[in-house]
Structure 1
Amino acid sequence: MALTDSYGNEVTTTSAAARDHYDLGLHLFLGGEFGATEAFAQAIAADPDFALAHAAHARASMMASDMAAAKASIARAQDLSEYLTVRERQHIDALALLLSGQAAQARAATLAHVQDHPRDALAAQLCSNVFGLIGFSGEVGREAELLAYTSALLPHYGEDWWMMSMHALALCETGKIDASQQLMERALAINPRNANGAHFKAHAHYEAGQSAAGRAYLAAWMQDYDPRAVLHGHLSWHQALWALHAGDEAEMWAAIDAGVAPTASQGLPINVLTDTAAILYRAELAGVSVDPARWAALSDYATRVFPETGQSFADLHAALSHAMAGQGDRLAHIAETAQGFAGDLVRPVARAWGAIARGDWAEALQDLVPVMAATERLGGSRAQRDLLELTYANVLLKLGQTDEARRSLATRRPMLASAPPVAALA
């Protein structure tokens, strides 16, 4: 009798131990917990010819920023794919496309794959979340597409904590906050240690303006979360952001220095860069003094981990870091060469960051105005893109357009309008 994984998918291995380690890794990976890479390695040790375990190890290694291991593992999975089922071969092919930098092709392959194999969770995961292949498509309407994607998959999963949390985020990012919170609570009741669920609950609290409740929830939840886990740094960013909004500078800096900054976080480089740049500049907007040495260190970090443009969400924040650090040549490189899914928007925003650093508010406004109609294309969550919303409002304030600044927040981000974290509007 063929073995199946915990989602009912047949797996080509005769080792129950290998299958069990694979299932554990799948659980840990989908929950954003630490240990998935090790669990998949144990599956491989139990059955060196278990192709899907090699593919899963590749995906987990990618999320651990070990691209050399990821590429070696996916190559081994491909070598073993000749006698696999169609589902397993397609699963491996989609991951291989992603790891070879073919994001658009990987997205198309995944969308086609889940039509026939909706419960292939590790493949379906590639297009879920705001940081997935739909989230980083650079397309207008990608939030609605993500909701359509999870809506189509949800009926196939029943009371599954992972898919429920993914759908809850999609609901949150399209403004359906109450429905998101209700579904998230159901998901977390099944698996309280689901870090993706805790993360998305934080987003729902943020969008609902429930800062105190969100801050208290994360403070308790984070106590048992392994600092080596993929979301530890980003959840620390949420903690720092809520501390900033509460006027608790000491707690904000403690969260940054313990979990967000490059010297502390063990997360993905894209999260380390974007979260640190965002919290530092949002602190400045709120009137908090930021040591220039922090910007200098972050500019150096951005240059090291993203030396060339192409990942638009990272480029956006790298440009901010270079502008605030006074690194004109680095900033100009992004402003002139930005490529990727939203490079056409990164270039004017990079110019705007430079103008802001010089105090040329009129030029900054000129560059920002056309971008503000399409910020969704840049990627990230609404909470992350509030960096631009608040920057835009602050530029208007610097030009004496206070009423327009208030109107912009009230219409575009009303949950920020009652107590905007911008010093001149506080």
Structure 2
Amino acid sequence: MLTDRYGNAISTSSQAARDHYDHGVRLFLGGEFGALQAFEAAVGADPGFALGHAARARAAMMVAQMPLAKTAIAQARALAARATPREQRHVECLALLLSGQAQRARMAVMDHVRDAPRDALAAQLCASVFGLIGFSGEVGREAELLAYTSALLPHYGNDWWMMSMHALSLCETGQIGASLDLMERSLALNPRNANGAHFKAHAQYEAGETAAGRAYLSAWLADYDDRAVLHGHLQWHVALWALQQGDEATMWAAVDTGIGPGAAKGLAINVLTDTAAILYRAELAGLSVGPERWRALSDYAAQMFPQTGQSFADLHAALSHAMAGEGARLAQIAEEATGFAGDLIRPLARAWGAIARENWSQALQDLVPVMPVTERVGGSRAQRDLLELTYANVLMRLGQADEARRSLATRRPVLAAAPPLAGLS
């Protein structure tokens, strides 16, 4: 029996299938383009390779080809009876995720990696802020993510992927120096690891390294395929830094060519959340955002997320609808939001509506109970700065500028020295 690049036994006798699978794993874990094609080649070389079909399902999911993902996981489950117990559990973890059972999938992955810690494609399901821990909607999920990658790290040795995952966990729990050191070691082993470049950008953001971060990421993006899953989101990081440096032209160029609907080729959740966040942060910084941009984004949100349930997407959809004046769409979220943090999304949606009407006292009333637990809505600290800045802006509008400064200084000191808020310098 052959083994994969992490030493796990795999149920194929085809070296070509194994090699294509290993190549696909490397591309997938590195956020590079071509993973789906590699996994297609793997099952082409061995149609009976259960794990190849499971990986094909996972890669299809990440490029929003959900019918293909469901077909592929059904094939994997049908073939898994002839696979090893480790492969069977791997397939079941992914099947749970694809059937919408996120909580059960999370528990299954946590159980599975205790016995098979080097099953990287399964372990990946709970890693990063966009994984099953990150979108759990629970208080303490950042600490849980750190505990998760801390437990896995010793099993991976000098592995660039796990180093980058653990570095992000360090970053999101405030250990910025350690995060940057580990990320540099990871990127030295695989400089084209898009997750590594992404997480380095997060650490540089948290360290306040605006000029250095923008220069690094802009150069790194020059050779990154715009069809790859992280291309649009990395452009968001560049746009954010450009906004902080007052480079409005570069910010809008990034929005129009790599971030917004019709420009980005990544997942709908990234297109929506990144575009809404940069548009509103631009408004907070004092820039003029054309109403047509908000209308287009509201239409996109209504098309791609017609029902609530993905709380991080719902947060940004509500913002888009509020700024576009789409009251009925906003009301649906404010009244009906479900999902892992639906209880927080409802008042946040009401707050966006109040802000759009410039009813600052009502906005504050809706924001106050949410601010202590914003980690529950998902996303990174950099992404949740949208809420931190919104809260500070509301305070400032109510004549409480000193309280706005105190909030940023205590909650997000990286923003306090030069707050990216018009009127709060």
Q: TM-score range by the shorter chain?
A: over 0.9
Name the amino acid aligned to 1:311: Q
Unaligned residue ranges in structure 1 (runs of 5+):
none
Displacement after TM superposition at 1:59 (Å): 0.1
Name the amino acid aligned to 2:93: A
Name the amino acid aligned to 1:410: A
SS in 1 for 2:222: helix
**Cα shift readout 1:165-200 (whole Å, capped 9, x = no counterpart):** 000000000000000000000000000000000000
Q: For the residues of structure 2 that align with 1:196 and 1:91, how far apart are their CA atoms? A: 22
TM-score, normalised relative to structure 1: 1.00
Q: Counterpart in 1 of 2:111?
A: 112
Q: Does 1:173 align with 2:172?
A: yes
Unaligned residue ranges in structure 2 (runs of 5+):
none
Q: For the residues of structure 2 that align with 1:147 and 1:22, how far apart are their CA atoms? A: 28
**Cα shift readout 1:186-221 (whole Å, capped 9, x = no counterpart):** 000000000000000000000000000000000100
Name the amino acid aligned to 1:79: A
Q: Counterpart in 2 of 1:145?
A: 144
Q: What's the Cα RMSD here?
A: 0.3
Q: Counterpart in 2 of 1:422?
A: 421
Q: Does 1:258 align with 2:257?
A: yes
Q: Counterpart in 1 of 2:134?
A: 135
**Cα shift readout 1:84-133 (whole Å, capped 9, x = no counterpart):** 11100000000000000000000000000000000000000000000000
Q: For the residues of structure 2 that align with 1:137 and 1:70, how far apart are their CA atoms? A: 22
Name the amino acid aligned to 1:309: T
Q: For the residues of structure 2 that align with 1:298 and 1:10, how far apart are their CA atoms? A: 46
Runs of 4 or more off by more than 2 Å in structure 1? Answer: none
Displacement after TM superposition at 1:249 (Å): 0.2
- After TM superposition, the structure 1 = structure 2 runs for residues 370-389 of structure 1, keeping only pairs within 5 Å, are 370-389=369-388
Q: Counterpart in 1 of 2:88?
A: 89
Q: Does 1:367 align with 2:339?
A: no
Q: For the residues of structure 1 that align with 2:317 and 2:254, how far apart are their CA atoms? A: 21
Q: For the residues of structure 2 that align with 1:339 and 1:223, how far apart are their CA atoms? A: 40
Name the amino acid aligned to 2:176: I
Q: For the residues of structure 2 that align with 1:377 and 1:288, how far apart are their CA atoms? A: 29
Q: Counterpart in 2 of 1:48?
A: 47
Name the amino acid aligned to 1:108: M
SS in 1 for 2:423: helix
SS in 2 for 1:423: coil
Displacement after TM superposition at 1:137 (Å): 0.2
Q: For the residues of structure 2 that align with 1:210 and 1:317, how far apart are their CA atoms? A: 26
- After TM superposition, the structure 1 = structure 2 runs for residues 198-277 of structure 1, keeping only pairs within 5 Å, are 198-277=197-276
Q: For the residues of structure 2 that align with 1:216 and 1:108, how far apart are their CA atoms? A: 40
Q: Counterpart in 2 of 1:403?
A: 402
Q: Counterpart in 2 of 1:62?
A: 61
SS in 2 for 1:131: coil
What count of residue pairs does the alignment treat as equivalent? 425
Displacement after TM superposition at 1:251 (Å): 0.4
Q: Counterpart in 2 of 1:284?
A: 283
Q: For the residues of structure 1 that align with 2:414 and 2:309, how far apart are their CA atoms? A: 32
